[in-house]
Structure 1
Amino acid sequence: MTTYTDKGPRPEVGKFIAFHHISFWVGNAKQASQWYCVRFGFHPFGYKGLETKSRQVVSHAIQQDDIIFVFHSPLEPNNDEMGRHLVVHGDGVKDVAFSVENCRGIYKRAIEKGAKSVREPWEESDENGTVIFATIQTYGDTTHTFIELTNYKGTFLPNYKEPRHVDPILPSLKECGLHFIDHVVGNQPDDQMTSAAEWYVNNLQFHRFWSVDDSQIHTEYSALRSIVVTNFDETIKMPINEPANGRKKSQIQEFVDYYGGAGVQHIALNTSNIIKSIAALRSRGVEFLTIPDSYYVALREKLKKSKVKVDESLDVLQELHILVDYDDEGYLLQIFSKPAQDRPTLFIEIIQRKNHQGFGAGNFKALFEAIEAEQDLRGNL
């Protein structure tokens, strides 16, 4: 495992502030958004559709604290772009949007450095003000939209209206306590990780934050390599993974096969109380990977020799199948859902940090083995 301290020079144009929202292209935005509300504790937040004069695409925005997901579906049968994307990739993440200062400057510099433009800067306005947008291509068919809010006073973005219907079951369900997007992981085909990471360094002035290779992350059957890139202020973390050769197919390769190329593999959502969050999520029917008891037997022995004390009950962590990674300074707790759709592609991670900014390298072997058990059930190991 390698951590990096050299951020490089402060960007000369613009500033990346944070994740703004994540856009999904799905076959049925109404149903998908409701599934995430019921299962993961989101609430309806905004709507665009036929009733709001959006004639081609319907959009359902949902929110939980600072996390915003937006689900888009085509309304007309001749929407070839969205139709092709859905056939190739299935339901999945299309765009990861960032809040920025100086949208036009960031876009202009990225294009000058070689980034591919999807849409030049444009403005949208409503009674709450004006927002500036621009979109560029990143790995695979995934895009990044830069969003400059400036003095916009609305709750989300222009021309989104209040949800037309709020499911009456939602208030009766336990709150999940998920607060913000911790990181967004992109899987690449073999030998494309480094070029994808360098794309962020060259075009967006991100820098390397953390990395591991297949000598550190492997099981008997499969392995991966990963580089994490981040913006100057380290508020946006984007891990980039690729498969490494192993005896059998890695989970990264399985994703690439079923997604049809590079794409967002998982979204990590941060909580301040993972035990409470996972108890609530399990009560809502979220399925998580199963971690064997042997992991916790070994963990207890290793922690006896560690300077770090885990505040949470190891018995409860074991009962909930929550993983623990640590160093001499602190620890993190994490757990991974099963895929959120029929294809074994996108899933959700829940993570809690206590003075630890890693990504669970110490857990990768246990995580891989849990995923491999699922792969075996699917006939894909």
Structure 2
Amino acid sequence: MDITDTDHIELYVGDAHVAAEQLCAQYGFRVFGQGGPETGLTGQRSVLLGQRDIRVLLTSGLSGGHRASRYVAQHGDGVAIVAIGCTDAAAAYAEAVAAGATPVSPPRTATHGDSAVVFAEVSGFGDVTHRLVQRDRTDPNFLPGLIATPADPVPEHEDDLLHEIDHAAVCLPAGELDTTVAYYERVFGFSMIFQEYIEVGEQGMQSKVVQSPSGGVTLTLIQPDISRQAGQIDDFLAWHEGAGVQHIAFSTHDIAAAVRTLGERGVGFAQTPGSYYDMLAGRLGETDVPVADLRPLGILVDRDHWGQMYQIFAKSTHIRRTYFNELIDRHGARTFGLSNIPALYAAKERELAAVRDTTLSEGTAL
């Protein structure tokens, strides 16, 4: 199976137009196309957003029986499809099914004029599926005949801050981590490139990262340690009602500028205590981005064998406090350092703790 990259992600949402407006206003995405019953997308309304090499498809069901409606009813808004680019979608589908993947949708071809895109779907984790996509990268048509795109390609903007989908982080119920790693190794030919045990206070979680041979698709898989105190992963699994994508990480080439700009547009970011930066020089030495720029923005920094990486979580705007976004800026780093992930999850735990305290206070007042 020749996998190239993360072709796109598809989120099932209650209102695709409202979700699109928020992502455009806050994150700088632009509308690249739309589809619905009039374009052959039966029972749904979809909006395609783009920025650099990122494509995000937002889909809402138009009836209770549509799979997007069922997904939102159970899980709330979230990532339902992680699409994988490949050189031969039909062959990849056959190979994946032969290796044990559950078939979801057989190969079909979307065509319009001279444009053609082949796609099929197989099982992933929880209720998330993988769409295998074969396309000509020079063709601006996303799903020709199904998603209507402008006659003239949407131009890139010089001020685009986000460039690629770096990885997806997945929360799994306890006991499913190793079997899920084995599934991606067997079905998609992924390799495990990183693993660690994360401790945040009295909580514990195990993380393993799997990646395609091309390096274009990366999944961070996380399960809670149920022998420890329940925490944010347990919260996600309860509120999301099962395994799912906790966050998508978008890469940027200037994280300080991105955080400042997105913050001005209304994106909230997790806070990092000043003590983190007080100890940074002793832990990492000199950083590519000055600590004076990192500290006021709450950006974290770590390194692996190849270089440094900078990361930050955006605060969730989801009513269930499940899905959120991450920004990551890689300065040569290929994997994940040993200090950022615990720090990132500690920051997210502080955010969720504040939400719990507020909810408890409001409940008591009532």
Same fold by TM (over 0.5)?
yes
- Equivalent residue of 2:93, what SS? helix
List alignment gaps of at least 5 residues for structure 1: 1-13, 165-170
Contact 1:176 1:277 in 2 (8 A): no
Contact 1:25 1:72 in 2 (8 A): yes
Candidates 98, 112, 120, aligned match of 1:134: 120
Is 1:334 aligned with 2:311?
yes
Give the Å deviation of 1:205. 1.1
Give the Å deviation of 1:377. 2.0
Give the Å deviation of 1:365. 2.9
For residues 235-246 of structure 1, the aligned pairs below 5 Å read: 235-245=216-226
> Matched residues, percent identical?
32
Distance 1:360 1:327 in 2: 5
Give the Å deviation of 1:337. 0.6
Distance 1:151 1:193 in 2: 34
Is 1:103 aligned with 2:84?
no
Distance change (3 Å), C-alpha of 1:17 and 1:158: same
Alignment partner, residue 224 of structure 1: 205
Candidates 6, 9, 34, aligned match of 1:22: 9
RMSD (Å) for aligned C-alpha atoms: 2.1
Give the Å deviation of 1:163. 6.4
Is 1:192 aligned with 2:176?
yes
Distance change (3 Å), C-alpha of 1:68 and 1:340: farther
For residues 1-381 of structure 1, the aligned pairs below 5 Å read: 14-52=1-39, 54-75=41-62, 77-150=63-136, 153-159=139-145, 160-162=147-149, 175-213=159-197, 217-245=198-226, 247-303=228-284, 306=285, 309-327=286-304, 329-379=306-356
Distance 1:115 1:51 in 2: 32
Give the Å deviation of 1:34. 1.2
Report the AA paired with residue 24 of structure 1: L
Which shifted more, 95-104 or 142-151?
A: 142-151
- Equivalent residue of 1:248, what SS? coil
Contact 1:340 1:348 in 2 (8 A): no
Report the AA paired with residue 2 of structure 2: K
Q: Deviations over 1:233-270 (max 9, x none)?
A: 22211111111136532221111111110011111111
Q: Deviations over 1:302-345 (max 9, x none)?
A: 23xx4xx3121201100000001124642111100111311111
Alignment partner, residue 168 of structure 1: none
List alignment gaps of at least 5 residues for structure 2: 152-156, 361-366
